[in-house]
Chains A and B, each alone.
Chain A
Amino acid sequence: MADKSSSNAYWKANIRIIQISLVIWFVCSFGMGIILRPMLKGINVGGADLGFWMAQNGSIYVFLVLIFGYAIVMNRLDRAHGVEE
């Protein structure tokens, strides 16, 4: 097991990555898909607007990128701190 200060640094880095990911998660689904939709009216996507497309399809693609991105970044972080299995 890694020492205490190293595992604290690992946990802090993890929290930071989670925070950034959740901001993107929120902006792309609740933001662009719901709250900001009226503001994105001008951007046309195939007969409707960007907010509509984000709500029906786009946000799901962002979720996928986020989860795999998190898995890759965390695998690297695990190795850097020597806490991988």
Chain B
Amino acid sequence: MDQFTLNLIFVGITFAIYIGIAIWARAGSTAEFYAAGQGVNPILNGMATGADWMSAASFISMAGIIALAPAGGYEQSAFLMGWTGGYVLLALLLAPYLRKFGKFTVPEFIGDRFYSGGARLLAVICLIVISITYVIGQMRGVGVTFSRFLEVSTDTGLYIGAAIVFAYAVFGGMKGITYTQVAQYVVLIIAYTVPAVFISLQLTGSALPQLGLIGDHSASGVAFLTKLDQVVTELGFKAYTSESANMLNMFLFTMSLMIGTAGLPHVIIRFFTVPKVADARSSAGWALVFIALLYTVAPAVGSMARLNLTTTMWPASAAGNALDGDALSYEARPDWMKTWQATGLMEFSPGYPLTDKPADVKIREGVVAALGANPAAVLHMTGADGVTKEIRAEGGDAAAIDAAIRAALGEGFKPRFLDRNGDGLVQYYNDKSEAMKATAASKGFAGNELSKVDNDIMVLANPEIAALPGWVIALVAAGALAAALSTAAGLLLAISSAISHDLIKGSINPNISEKGELLAARVSMGFAIVVATYLGLNPPGFAAQVVALAFGLAAATIFPVLMMGIFSKRINKQGAIVGMLFGLVFTAVYIFVYKGWFFIPGTNMLEDVAANYVFGISPLSIGAVGAVVNFVSAYVVSSMTKEPPQEVQELVESIRIPKGAGAATGH
């Protein structure tokens, strides 16, 4: 059976399961639609929360980000600690009290606790910005996974994904989503850990990747991490375990991710679905168990994939020193490299883009200079039917080389391999490293020839790199889709409940019937899916940067206001509104200064480089500071204004005590 058929079977079976669950778990009431009727077992809720939380970014990208980071893998531990440590804050500071409060949405708590429709509205706006930002990435992930594994276009993949989410989210609401997420969790965790176990066995002999990471490398007998550090530093890269260049920034980045996680509305609402307060506490623990299964494996997946990639590029490094032998020959590259080269995620040539964008002009000049600098240098181009063309400088000047490449592009040839020193081998090393320059010159290297390895390859190509059987590859495809779809559904529910419950029932039409509200919830869910699909098809250029804004906002607005609402009786309406506004404005402005006002390219006031950051704090890490701004300003304003009314103080007293939580109500 060929790989395509296998992928189709695996993805088809998982989708049939999701649809089956959707039919079984239709929601009949608003309580079922918003909070699954509060009857979800805490362990199942933990699994669903795990699937909800672990997105396409966690599944596909995180291990690659850790493996390939120029600053070394250790610095990226911020993701590992940040995206798990937030659950401690949720379990201790938010989940039990919000469950006791017993309503359906985060803005509803903020509105009631701060007796203010304005505060509720502000919370709705933050929630929608955060969730929409997130959902774009998920829809994109669905489309990309489809196109890579099922040979359909990215757009078609996106439509199929949107239709599946529509089927179970609109009809099942939180109930359908929760039980589907349980199934998706099982698929995604098997897909992530099975290849990791195989690879850990191959490299370290340990079946547990967590132990493999700190075990010994079988082929060389030294510790695995020592081997990895030695291999990558030999090629001029920074060691995987090297220390952080900026400890303050790493600290604040980790903190922003933690309190951002605890402030994300689609995560918080998961804890409204369990029967009791005690279940909310343990459910956060179960959620972290299921998340930790992936997150403790991720550094092993990343570091092992990095070693496998390097030993493939430099065969001698498998047992000894990389530079003792020759680099990989381009013609003899393994099949998986050809597959990923075809998708553009792995490249041996910087390409030859013809637009006038400064970055593209620079790429073209680089290629022309590389050919001009070394008489042996060759640019291999491939046309239709695999015909190849070799372009050399051959004494020509820059203009002649440029014209020759353009002519070949015109005939349909595409640049495939820029052989900078003309030896037919692919030298993969850090050509920006000063320490590497002398070695490179003595060996006759003329620059790094593996021009692109996308972060996403590390997980997606892992089974192929390790030569695992075809069903494992099919499983990874199904797992990546499960990760993206489950997160998308959770986000869409958070958006739809904010619209139907907080906006329509909360302010526009408070007398709406339960049936009417349920219909409104379904319509707004359908609307949210259409918007998300549109944005997935036409992603705003700033999609990647907006993630900083989502975490920053969650950290600087929602988390502090929820925590103060529970732990202080003194924080009043004025304090909460001023705190949220200051946190929001401070965080957004700091991000806009480096990323452009409202992310419009070219409007940034300072270049987005570390040298310009205040105390080296990157815009990604500013959310933690924004949270402090929120806390301080809310405290100062509250102490200068009137204390909250008696009934609000009694509300705070009551949410602090588990007794009498009962069923949640919408009123």
- Chain A contacts to B: CB under 8 angstroms: 1-2, 7, 10-11, 14, 18, 21-22, 25, 29-30, 33-35, 37-38, 45-49, 52-53, 55-57, 59-61, 63-64, 66-68, 70-71, 74-75, 78, 82-85
Contact = CB atoms under 8 A, between A and B. Distances in A.
Given A2-B657, A29-B81, A84-B278, A46 B214 contact: yes
A84 B659 contact: yes
A33 to B, nearest CB: 6
A61 B289 CA distance: 9
Interface stretch (B104-112, B133-141, B247-255, B492-500): B247-255
Nearest to A44: B223
B92 A70 contact: yes
A71 B91 contact: yes
5 contacts: A29-B81, A48-B225, A60-B295, A66-B92, A67-B281
Given A47-B224, A63-B88, A74 B296 contact: no
A61 B559 CA distance: 24
Given A70-B91, A84-B659, A85-B659, A64 B285 contact: yes
Nearest to A14: B656
Given A30-B255, A85-B277, A67 B213 contact: no
B214 A7 contact: no
Interface in B228-265: 229, 241, 243-244, 247, 250-251, 254-255
B84 A60 contact: yes
A71 B99 CA distance: 14
A73 B661 CA distance: 19
A35 B92 CA distance: 24
Contact of B285 (A25, A71, A85): A71
A48 B92 contact: no
| The 8 residue pairs across chains A and B that have the minimum distance between CB atoms | A46-B214, A47-B223, A47-B225, A55-B77, A67-B285, A71-B281, A47-B226, A56-B299
Contact count band on B: 35 or more
Contacts of B224: 46-47
B658 interface: yes
B288 A47 contact: no
B660 interface: yes
Contact of A52 (B210, B227, B241): B241
A15 B505 CA distance: 36
Nearest to B292: A60
A25 B85 contact: yes
A35 B247 contact: yes
A11 B276 CA distance: 18
Contacts of B277: 85
Interface of B: 73-74, 77, 80-81, 84-85, 87-88, 91-93, 96, 210, 213-215, 222-227, 229, 241, 243-244, 247, 250-251, 254-255, 276-278, 281-282, 284-285, 288-289, 292, 295-296, 299, 653, 656-661
Nearest to B662: A85
Contacts of A7: 653, 656-657
A12 B645 CA distance: 23
A14 B92 CA distance: 10
Contacts, number: 145
A1 B660 contact: yes
Contact of B244 (A11, A30, A34, A53): A34
A22 B243 contact: no
Nearest to A64: B288
Contacts of B285: 64, 67-68, 71
A55 B81 contact: yes
Contacts of B656: 7, 10-11, 14
A69 B460 CA distance: 37
Nearest to B227: A47
A18 B656 CA distance: 13
Nearest to B241: A48
B282 A68 contact: yes
Given A47-B226, A55-B81, A67 B91 contact: yes
A60 to B, nearest CB: 5
A63 B659 contact: no
Given A1-B660, A47-B214, A85-B659, A57 B278 contact: no
Contacts of B77: 33, 52, 55-56
Contacts of B658: 78, 83-85
Contacts of A30: 251, 254-255
B92 A2 contact: no
Contact of B88 (A34, A49, A67, A74): A67
B250 A34 contact: yes
Contacts of B292: 60-61, 63-64
Nearest to B255: A30
A50 B254 CA distance: 18
B88 A66 contact: yes
A34 B92 contact: no
A74 B85 CA distance: 20
A45 B211 CA distance: 11
Given A46-B214, A47-B222, A57-B213, A85 B296 contact: no
A1 B241 CA distance: 54
Contacts of B214: 45-48, 53
A49 B661 CA distance: 46
Given A11-B656, A56-B73, A78-B278, 8 more contacts: A7-B653, A33-B77, A46-B224, A49-B241, A53-B214, A67-B91, A78-B659, A85-B277
B285 to A, nearest CB: 4
A21 B88 contact: yes
Q: Which of A7, A47, A56, A78 neighbours the largest number of chain B CB atoms within 10 Å of its CB?
A: A56
A53 B213 CA distance: 9
B254 A29 contact: yes
Nearest to B224: A47
